Amino acid sequence: MTQVGNIIRLSFRDYTHEWRMSGCFVAALAAVLAPLMILFGLKFGIVTSMVTQLIENPINREIRPIGSGHYDQGWFERFRDLDEVEFVIPKTRALAATMQLKSQTAKRILTTELLATAEGDPLLTKLPKTPSDQFQIILSQGAAEKLNVKRDDRIDASLARQFQGKRERVHLDLTVIDIADAKVVSRNVAFVHLDLLLATEQFKDGRAVPSLGWDGSELDESSRSYPSFRLYARSIYDVEYLVRLLESEGVQVRANTAEISTVQSIDENLSIIFWIIACVGAAGFSFSLGASLWANVDRKRKDLSVLRLLGFKSGKIVLFPVLQALYTAVLGWLLAVLVYLTFEQLINRFLAPKLNLDQTLCYLISEHFFWALGLTLGIAILAAIMGGMRAADIEPSDGLRDM
């Protein structure tokens, strides 16, 4: 067996022989590393999900036109094809975009605002499907509660108009296919297929809607245009560009640009805090680990002297404490990871619901675990090499007599 092979064997045998002491070193390492990882996990979890939530909140990405205009089919197609646009859909005049809803389980009749929707609507990303025809509807949570309906319930929708001096009312039997989260939209809103929104406007304007069997004057289909739109940028970083583009085309718009810059500065500030904690923690961890490994080399001086007496070369002797530091580093890291994962589960399962957060409070990505291992190994080996060099430097006769 080579000297290196022997040193590996001996350092491991000594490590397991002194398992109580080794256990203490491992526990001491984990005791410093685990809280650091939990702190990181919390910081990372909170920062990431907060920033993601702020960035992903569609309200921050909405660009709203001021006043009304004329936007034709070609305009919508052009904007839908822009990379910076995630979703755009026509709006009709606000007064024409309402209907009265009545359910069998609630007495009151609710007037709701209608919004056209389609697949990919940022307000409804969490829902599996969107209305595929004029008879399907998605209600905001507020509206659903007031009407006391749930998914798959049927609901009566009615529209009224003054037509040729008479008051007319038509009814539609709609299916509630889903309920939209209260966080996304807090008003009484019904998301419907664009066709239903257009039918509503046509009916209120006194025109005929042949597909629903509603009478009225003939419709001129040739130059259909819309007075307004609902538009969302793909990310908050695209908002500024789209605002400028729309304004250059003479469209006055409003966007949450102030809030967007707030989100961006929060993102930056939290990152700074994160790194300050990371650096201070890592420095403290280095000193603590370095001190305990240095002390171990001192404790091992006698045994190391005997090995030199037996003819081990000084250079190889340095390996002995370095290898033991390596064992401590790997085992301590493993223990810290176990402790961390336990706390991560506890925090996310029991603490997060109490704080009324549906976001993950504490988590690390696998990269972070390897960073922790690399840092631990680096510090451990450095400390042990410095200690080991000192051990190899003293005369071999030193330490023999205290045996």
Partner 1 sequence: MTAVVYSLRNVVKERMVENAGFRLHIPSIDIHAEENIALVGHSGCGKSTLMDLFALVLHPDQADGFSISPVGGETDDVDELWRRKKHNRLSLIRKQHIGYVLQSGGLLPYLTVRENIELPRQLLNLPKDDSIPSISKVLGIHRQLDKLPGLLSAGERQRVAFARALAHRPSILLADEPTAALDPITARKIMAVVMELIKGLKITLITASHDWAHVYKMDLRMLRQESGPTENGRIYQSTFRD
Q: If binding is defined by CB under 8 A, does position 306 make contact with partner 1?
A: yes
Q: How far is the CB of 22 from partner 1 (least distance, A)?
A: 11
Q: Which is nearer to partner 1, 93 or 313 (CB)?
A: 313
Min CB(13)–partner 1 separation in Å: 5
Smallest gap from residue 317 Cβ to partner 1 (A): 10
**Applying CB under 8 A, which of residues 156, 168, 215, 303 lies at the interface with partner 1?**
303
How far apart (Å, rounded) are the C-alpha atoms in residues 36 and 24?
Answer: 19
Q: Which CB, 387 or 399, lies closer to partner 1?
A: 399
- Number of neighbours of residue 2 by Cβ within 10 angstroms: 8
Q: Binding marks (x or -) toward partner 1, 249..288, rule CB under 8 A?
A: ----------------------------------------
Which of 235, 257, 314, 360 is the binder for partner 1 (CB under 8 A)? Answer: 314
**Site for partner 1 contains 8 (CB under 8 A):** no
Question: Segment contacting partner 1 (CB under 8 A): 27-35, 176-184, 312-320, 338-346?
Answer: 312-320
Q: Is 16 in the site for partner 1 (CB under 8 A)?
A: yes
Stretch of residues binding partner 1 (CB under 8 A), selected from 5-13, 73-81, 141-149, 351-359: 5-13
Q: Which is nearer to partner 1, 272 or 310 (CB)?
A: 310
In angstroms, what is the minimal distance from the CB of 4 to partner 1?
A: 12
Chosen residue from 191, 214, 312, 340 binding partner 1 by CB under 8 A? 312
**Cβ distance to partner 1 smaller for residue 213 or 311:** 311
* Range 344-403, binding partner 1 (CB under 8 A): 395-397, 400-401, 403
3-state secondary structure the chain: CCHHHHHHHHHHHHHHHCHHHHHHHHHHHHHHHHHHHHHHHHHHHHHHHHHHHHHHCHHHHEEEECCCCCEEHHHHHHHHCCCCEEEEEEECCHHHCEEEEECCCCCCCEEEEEEEECCCCHHHCCCCCCCCCCCEEEEEHHHHHHHCCCCCCEEEEEEEEEECCEEEEEEEEEEEEEEECCCCCCCCEEEEEHHHHHHHHHHHCCECEHHHCECCECCCCCCCEECEEEEEECCHHHHHHHHHHHHHCCCCEEECHHHHHHHHHHHHHHHHHHHHHHHHHHHHHHHHHHHHHHHHHHHCHHHHHHHHHCCCCHHHHHHHHHHHHHHHHHHHHHHHHHHHHHHHHHHHHHHHHHCCCCCCCCCCCHHHHHHHHHHHHHHHHHHHHHHHHHHHHCCCCCCCCCC
Among 8, 18, 267, 386, contact with partner 1 (rule: CB under 8 A): 18
Show contacts with partner 1 in window 109-138 (CB under 8 A): none
Q: With CB under 8 A as the rule, give the number of residues binding partner 1.
A: 27
In the complex, what is the shortest distance from the CB of residue 8 to partner 1, in angstroms, rounded to a whole number?
Answer: 13
Give the binding site for partner 1 (CB under 8 A).
Answer: 1, 3, 6, 10, 13-14, 16-18, 303, 305-315, 395-397, 400-401, 403
